[in-house]
A = this chain, B = another copy of it.
Amino acid sequence: MTTTKSDAHAEAKELKLERLIDAPVAKVWRCWAEPDLLKQWFCPKPWYVSDVRMDLCPGGEFFTVMNGPNGEQFDNAGVFLAVEPHRRLVSTDAFRPGWVPSERAFMVAETTFEDTGEGQTRYTARALHWTVEARKEHEEMGFHEGWGKAADQLKELARSL
């Protein structure tokens, strides 16, 4: 396959991780779609999620509050862009509900769930940024460690359901 200039540019704005999860797609999907399950894996321990609002439809709110061990607190506000049950979930921080532009269009998060045919799920999470600078910033903030640990927590949770 030939890599065009445009493909290479898109890749330069992307961060990605993949996990093979020993649980069927339906269980992995539940970990994303049910707020009480999402809370259990969505940020790397000892950080924790204290509040979740999710309206699983295009344009619906996706809001979480992340808390650190020293009292840190961060709101993550955004919306869902695409909701394809058991297949794909896309969200972004670029909007507030009502399609109102947010303070900053930083990234799109795209998650795909693929049945490998053996009761396992290939789980892929991508962060797509508007600029190469934002991708670098996200990498320096610890994307691989943070999203990686969260994905491992998701993996354990899905197996336990």
Contacts and interface: CB of A to CB of B under 8 A. Distances in A.
Interface of A: 10, 13, 58-59, 81-82, 90, 92, 94-95, 99-105, 107-108, 110, 128-130
A93 to B, nearest CB: 11
Contact of A108 (B13, B92, B101, B129): B101
B104 A108 contact: no
16 contacts: A13-B101, A82-B99, A94-B105, A94-B130, A95-B108, A99-B108, A99-B110, A99-B128, A100-B108, A100-B128, A101-B105, A101-B107, A101-B129, A101-B130, A102-B130, A104-B130
Contacts of A81: 59, 99
A1 B130 CA distance: 37
Given A99-B108, A101-B129, 19 more contacts: A10-B100, A13-B101, A58-B58, A58-B59, A59-B81, A92-B99, A94-B94, A94-B130, A95-B108, A99-B110, A99-B128, A100-B108, A100-B128, A101-B105, A101-B107, A101-B108, A101-B130, A103-B130, A105-B130
